Chains A and B, each alone.
Chain A
Amino acid sequence: MQPLQIIPAGKDHARISAIGSRSFLLEAPGDFDLAAQRRIWALSRTLKGWSDLAEIIPGMTNLLAILKETPDDPAEVMDRLSEAWEGARSIDLAGKTIEIPVHYGGDYASDLPALCDLSGLTDHEVVRIHYEATYRVFALGSAPGFGYLHGLDPRIYMPRKTVPSLKMEKGCVTIGGMQTGVAMLTGPNGWNSIGFADLQMFDPQSTTPAMMAPGDIVRFVPARIEL
């Protein structure tokens, strides 16, 4: 039997592919920017009305739709997702502002020298560029309460590591590609650490376990710079 064809992304068409039998990933075409994310948020709202949907995971200009069961007709699901994307208008989420105090440099900034080498900037410049920007929580994922932040200055872009750090400490402030965030768990991590934030951002006993929500605005405030 032929595998299901992936719908490729066109000029304005999303790319849709399957992950296993009941999950479908929609990836927005075009740039990695707030405009695309606002359409993902709109799509997420549309999909909440679908009765056959178990879970929606908005990602970084993409969305994973998990159905309750393997569909009889996956092509129909893909068409439906595609239509929902075409019809999705931009919405903005009214977010709160979160200030995160950061200890830049020091023992936890294990990847700052490599980032200086890659960018050609000094450590002071890298740190200043990181804390001067305003970030937007695009999505949560990967670890409980971990927020993917958009708004990184391209000058301090740094790809994920080929070999992840085996034991990165919870609280490390990291850069992964054009994304930044704060590590929520101690463990393997492929992102690059430039500092440390000591802030409780997830509580499973709370009615709202995650401090961050999509749409929130995040500012990193230098509490200490140790270079």
Chain B
Amino acid sequence: MIEILETGPFNTVQDLGRPGYRDIGVSASGAMDSLAVRIGNSLVGNDEAAAALEIQTFPFRLQFTERTGFAVTGTDGKPFLDGIELPSWCAFTAEAGQTLELRQPPKLARAYVCVAGGVDVPSVMGSRSTSLRGGFGGYGGRPLEKGDTIAVGAASAHTPLPASGLAVVEPSVALQDVFPASSDGSLLIRALSAGEEGLFAENGKAFWGQTWRISSRSDRTGYRLSGDAIVPAQTVEMRSHGVVPGVIQVPPGGEPIVQMSDANTAGGYPKIAGVIEGDLWRLGQARIGSRVQFVRSSHAEARAVEKALERYITDLRQTIPMVKRALSAMRGA
């Protein structure tokens, strides 16, 4: 079990989401930074789709009631175990009674706590993700609260973690050639043109040309972008259609909304662009108030990014058990 000692609003249980029910109006949900969950689970020997804690309000503290393997990923901050600073992107074993603390990260928005065996809440419609809008899934369909005790699944019988921890090179470093960096500190996010870009005429250029600020009215459902409003040349009453995370819609006010993990499953606002799959996790780590610029991309580029990410994950999932076995053998020798 783990017991929540301190938490802020909107920290939830998330896994890789609940796809397959959008046609009955159920959002996929899932971690905003799905890559961090996949890596964290790989580090502690879980299936990559096991449930984790998504922490987006800090400080956050939990206590392990028994010996538990864990890893904190996604964040650029450092976790503290009984007050001792540890590296993130690294798996350790906590002893019964030890306290894990996460403080506000320097730049990024979200941290993930993965535990060996996975966070064991009931699976609802094929996923343990919290659907905050629907009020189901996760821990009672709600954000975590102080005093909550959460079950941990049985860890798979695998080689134990080395006492000194086991780290991976985080994706922003290992894959830096794959992700564009700007000179002015704004986040560059690649997107493809979407159905109604043509409605915006000259204003469409203003969409791609400016740096947007992520407004305070942003959450797991969507990011609202502040900047010079873009207004369509004509208004259209669209028929409602399916939408997915990453779609950038422009409501009549002219400030775009990017749908995120808890994306509505249908919408009718004109769409100017759609973020490529491989950059969604990076947007998921963008904080309120930070700046983002959209870069016109192509399917070919999106495909190349997706393949690079899969190669990175596959490599980790093959290497981690090998390293554990080698270290274990050295200790035994």
Residues of A within 8 A of B (CB): 1-4, 6, 15, 17-23, 25, 27, 32, 54-64, 66, 69-72, 74, 139-146, 148, 159-160, 162-163, 176-177, 179, 184-185, 187, 202, 204-205, 209-210
Contact = CB atoms under 8 A, between A and B. Distances in A.
A144 B267 CA distance: 14
Nearest to A211: B24
A210 B25 contact: yes
Contacts of A62: 239, 241-242
B242 A21 contact: no
A66 B23 contact: no
Contacts of B264: 141-143
B296 interface: yes
B274 A18 contact: yes
Given A20-B277, A142-B25, A160 B239 contact: no
Interface string B37-57: 000000000000000000000
The 7 closest A-B pairs by CB, nearest first: A57-B242, A141-B266, A64-B242, A20-B274, A17-B195, A21-B302, A59-B241
Nearest to B298: A1
Interface in B287-333: 296, 298-303, 306
Name A's interface SS: loop
B25 A70 contact: no
Contacts of A4: 192-193, 298-299
A22 B299 CA distance: 8
Contacts of B24: 140, 144-145, 209-210
A81 to B, nearest CB: 14
A146 B124 contact: no
A61 B237 contact: no
A71 B241 contact: no
A141 B299 contact: no
B125 interface: yes
Contact of B296 (A3, A61, A162): A3
Contacts of A72: 303
B271 interface: yes
Contacts of B247: 19-20
A60 B239 contact: yes
A174 B22 CA distance: 21
Contact of B303 (A55, A71, A187): A71
